Chain A
Amino acid sequence: MSPHCLTAHALLDLFKSSKVTPQEVFEDVSARVKLVDAKIHAYIHPAQKPSFAAGAFPIPIGIKDNLCTIGEEITCGSRILKGFRPPYDAAVVEKIKRSGGLIVGVANMDEFAFGSSTESSCYGPTFNPWDLSRVPGGSSGGSAACVAADEAVWALGSDTGGSIRQPASFCGIVGMKPTYGRVSRYGLIAFASSLDQIGPLTKDVTDCALLMNIIAGYDERDSTSVNVPAPDYTKALIKDIKGMTIAIPKEAFVEGLDPEVRKAVEDAVALLRKLGAKIKEVSLPHTPYAVAAYYIVATAEASSNLARFDGVRYGLRVSPKKVRKNALIDMIEETRSQGFGNEAKRRIMLGTYALSSGYYDAYYLRGQKVRTLIKGDFDAVFQDCDAVLTPTSPTTAFKIGEKTSDPLSMYLSDIYTIPANLAGVPALSVPCGFSKQGLPIGLQLTAKAFAEETLLRIAYTYEQNTEWHLTKPAI
């Protein structure tokens, strides 16, 4: 098997027995990118040549276009940041480089991570490797697609409302959003600071644990980073879930859920029960309000985070042809009008409105209150359950263009993933089947804060008893 088809842990075994060198692996993956990326468009551009610096994990990796890398053009998929080359590495990029990581390229994404389909990138959409007429999910669609198409061995994405897990589900791979504060956000171009978390997209659960070992940990440059030592996640890879209790929220299996997705998830539940888990039906009564609360809080923060893109210091600057108000205001208006895409403008306006005086209490504050209630829902369930199980997404990958004209239906594709971001708890998506059309289906597991090991253990046990993760798309 060519190196590009392998998982990271398989490659590490090969390195150990000197059957292949990191350089050879990188060249093999680069050749794969040359061969297939014209069809997939997972990458915006290849990274500058990797340094092949010594490190324990010389693994080819795709990096989402919102993670700062010294000297690399990083744009968040937006015209407004074109030409921006950060003078610093994101904390995770630093760690990847220190681990010997080989950065293959900058992965495509929805503009500023606003979307669930990777269609809003100013560079054009990424295509789902399983069906090129479909979206890979989003916003980390490029990161998910590059792993699914063997254009990288693993990838980093960011997850604000499901942006790692939903594309992982659509692309048939493993994706995890760690606990908020587990991975430093330093150098992640913010969408919604209180929800964003960087996480791994990998071919299997073992790789997910390995990549977590590299990126997790306290960082004093990020005040929201939590100062607790990160465990060795590979120790959680135990093929046993006897005695664990898995909660099934009744709210998750209601209308809008694709019957094929429902069937696959129910089969997974049956398997987990057979493997020794106790299944318990629970209620997360406030989750029906999660999407609404999320779009208030997330857009409010985004409207403020995106204010810095004004054409004054970096990125795009559009000088108006004619001065109407004053040169400065006209410049900022023109730059932002031309620099941001429609979805970004929609969210900036939503967020500005939610924060404006007279509406703050009715929207932002209420959103935060719902958030507290949702957190309370999870706390109650985790009193006597180890994890919550739901589908990752209510549907399989949809067609390109299918939801772009209907933002609300697009927003609903994150209905299962959003609660974990609001509550700050970790959640993971693992492949659990295919639709009749051959599209991957994902299973989501959510655990209490800092219980990533629980997620990895359950997912690993499930994975070791299924073969979904071994199937590859034909490209």
Chain B
Amino acid sequence: MSQFETVIGLEVHLQLSTATKIFCGCANRYGCGPNTNVCPVCLGLPGSLPVLNSQAMRYAITASLALNARINGFVKFDRKNYYYPDLPKGYQISQYDFPIASDGYLEVKTKDTSARVRIKRAHLEEDAGKLMHDNAAGCSLVDYNRTGTPLLEIVTEPDIRSPQEAYDYLNTLKLNLQYLGISDCDMEKGSLRCDANVSIRPIGATAFGTKAELKNMNSFKAVKAALEYEVTRHRQMAISGGRIVQETLLWDDIKGVTVPMRSKEEAHDYRYFPDPDLVPFTLDPAFVDSLRAELPELPLQKQERFKEQYGLNDYDSFILISDRSISEFFEQCALLYQNPKNIANWISGPLLKEINQRKCVLTDLKLTSENFVNLIKSVDNGVVSNLVGKDVLTAMLDQGRSADVIIQEGGWAQVSDDSALTVIVDEVIAQNPSVAAQIKEGKANAVGFLVGQVMKKSKGKANPKKLSELITRRISNG
């Protein structure tokens, strides 16, 4: 099996989150009633003409710059001609021989791996509408709200060597785009769609094997699963001496299999030609430079800075930058409390655990950096123990109230009061005479056991630091 190498190329269609559509003034909004965000232009009514949305172009250039791509100064749009009811003009406006950008790359970094995936091209185009088949009524309906949504198609070179790497590429791409703030990258809403080409070849071969084109995958996990399925199929086919035919396959997420698309539907001659309604133009290099200058800090840059500025290690900084809002939250917290390592620990540990359990994102939690920092301070100052602190966090998120209020109202503050603790300490010493004897003989690490026992009895509210002093004192005095 291992004598084969997997070759994967990905095509991502990204919906840009501009206020209006790419060639008209209609709102670019998801989830509205059918055909409510439409006008003569995006409906392709006769006589209507497209006008390029400059915001869409800025976003496309910004994304391309973030992908280290070369911006082609000559901007031209072409028509891709084909018939489909959701394509109102009978052609899609796209970019054929002059994509907005070419020859870029993306550093794909995970916790333990790092690879560079070359970007072949990125081009702008308009999205089509959506067909809805009403089987009961025996008809199909079209919603044109999505027509004219700006799409950036990002095509990789066949540089990806495993389904896992494809998965990592998509996550890294999404993260970078999130940082740019130009798309919500939500695959479920269709704002990020992915097609994949996959083939295998004997290790050492330079020619590509016959590829399969995969479509219809609705999550990054589905992309990975579909690719894994295909790689296995190709390998088995190669081993059994069968021949792979080039075809387009649809991924059935429920059954976990690929199904061939009818070959008739893919036999296309798109008859590309320059769209005469959109005059080609040249980008001012100063304009591109200004966009370059405005590029926000990207994840990898941020990670480097976090390591340097806050003295964080590779792992902590990677976890923090893996979500733009979390990285920003971290920095807000770091402004309020000069203990970045502690904040990082609290975020990558308890907070991320809460987020994962709640299957939500940070911004859903309505957690302020002030409250979060106050919680960490409470732990650091010994008001609550580390253990209780985690419960306080849970309660904060459940109730949407501040750490102080929860600690106070819940009576969760550590018991540092000597008289209250002394009672429990004496009780525990009495119950563990042999341990007490060891401590008396100078075996200091035996104190820990008694501390644990007292903590248990006090339901975690005892102040452990205070406690070990008290225990030592009581034993040496007793």
Contact = CB atoms under 8 A, between A and B. Distances in A.
Interface of A: 66-68, 74, 76, 81, 84, 86-88, 90, 185-190, 192-194, 220-224, 300-301, 303-304, 306-310, 312-314, 328-329, 332, 352, 355-357, 360, 364
Interface in B192-223: none
A35 to B, nearest CB: 32
Interface centre among A81, A187, A193, A223 (most CB of B within 10 A): A223
B81 A355 contact: yes
B50 interface: yes
Nearest to B264: A325
B276 A357 contact: no
A23 B271 CA distance: 52
Interface in B35-67: 40, 43-52
A88 B40 contact: yes
Contacts of B45: 86-88, 313-314
B138 to A, nearest CB: 9
Contacts of B49: 185-186, 221-224
A355 B271 contact: yes
B91 interface: yes
B142 interface: yes
A303 to B, nearest CB: 8
A92 B281 CA distance: 26
Secondary structure at chain A's binding surface: helix, strand, loop or mixed? loop
Interface of B: 40, 43-52, 79, 81, 83, 85, 88-91, 140, 142, 269, 271-273, 276-279
Given A301-B276, A307-B83, A328-B85, A189 B47 contact: yes
B91 A307 contact: yes
A12 to B, nearest CB: 30
Contact of A87 (B40, B51, B271, B272): B40
B153 to A, nearest CB: 20
A349 B218 CA distance: 39
Given A84-B46, A308-B90, 6 more contacts: A187-B48, A221-B51, A223-B51, A304-B271, A308-B46, A357-B269
B46 A304 contact: no
30 contacts: A66-B47, A67-B47, A68-B47, A76-B46, A84-B46, A86-B45, A87-B45, A186-B47, A186-B49, A190-B47, A190-B277, A221-B51, A222-B49, A223-B51, A223-B52, A223-B278, A223-B279, A224-B49, A301-B276, A304-B90, A304-B273, A307-B89, A307-B91, A308-B88, A308-B90, A310-B83, A332-B83, A356-B269, A357-B269, A360-B272
Q: Chain B interface mostly helix, strand, loop or mixed? A: loop
A304 B44 CA distance: 12
Contacts of A90: 47
A319 to B, nearest CB: 11
A86 B271 contact: no
B271 A352 contact: yes
Q: Which of B45, B90, B272, B276 gathers most chain A CB within 10 Å?
A: B276
Given A88-B40, A222-B49, A304 B79 contact: yes
B24 to A, nearest CB: 9
A307 B81 contact: yes
Given A223-B277, A360-B273, A187 B81 contact: no
A220 B51 contact: yes
B47 A308 contact: no
A223 B140 CA distance: 34
A357 B90 CA distance: 18
A192 B79 CA distance: 14
A67 B91 CA distance: 22
Given A223-B50, A356-B269, A193 B276 contact: yes
Nearest to B142: A312
Contacts of A328: 85, 140
A186 B48 CA distance: 6
A307 B90 CA distance: 5
A357 B47 contact: no
Given A86-B47, A312-B85, A328-B85, A193 B277 contact: yes
Contacts of A307: 81, 83, 89-91
A364 B277 CA distance: 17
A187 B47 contact: yes
A316 B90 CA distance: 16
Nearest to A312: B85
A300 B46 contact: no
A307 B79 CA distance: 11
B46 A189 contact: yes
A192 B275 CA distance: 11
B88 A313 contact: yes
A66 B85 CA distance: 24
Contacts of B52: 223
Contact of B47 (A188, A313, A352, A364): A188
B40 A355 contact: no
Contacts of A300: 273
Interface centre among B40, B44, B46, B140 (most CB of A within 10 A): B46
B312 to A, nearest CB: 50
Contacts of B85: 310, 312, 328
Contacts of B269: 356-357
Nearest to B90: A307
Q: B48, B79, B81, B89 — which one has the most chain A CB atoms within 10 A of its CB?
A: B48
A32 B320 CA distance: 81
A89 to B, nearest CB: 10
A443 B89 CA distance: 39
Contacts of A192: 276
A355 B278 contact: no
B50 A356 contact: no
Given A87-B40, A355-B81, A194 B91 contact: no
A352 B47 CA distance: 21
A190 B85 CA distance: 20
Contacts of B44: 308
Contacts of B272: 355, 360
A81 B40 contact: no
B70 to A, nearest CB: 25
A436 B142 CA distance: 60
A344 B44 CA distance: 20
A308 to B, nearest CB: 5
B313 to A, nearest CB: 53
Contacts of B142: 312
Contacts of B277: 190, 193, 223-224
Contacts of A67: 47
Contacts of A329: 83
B440 to A, nearest CB: 91
A68 B51 CA distance: 18
Contacts of B81: 303-304, 307, 355
A314 B52 CA distance: 25
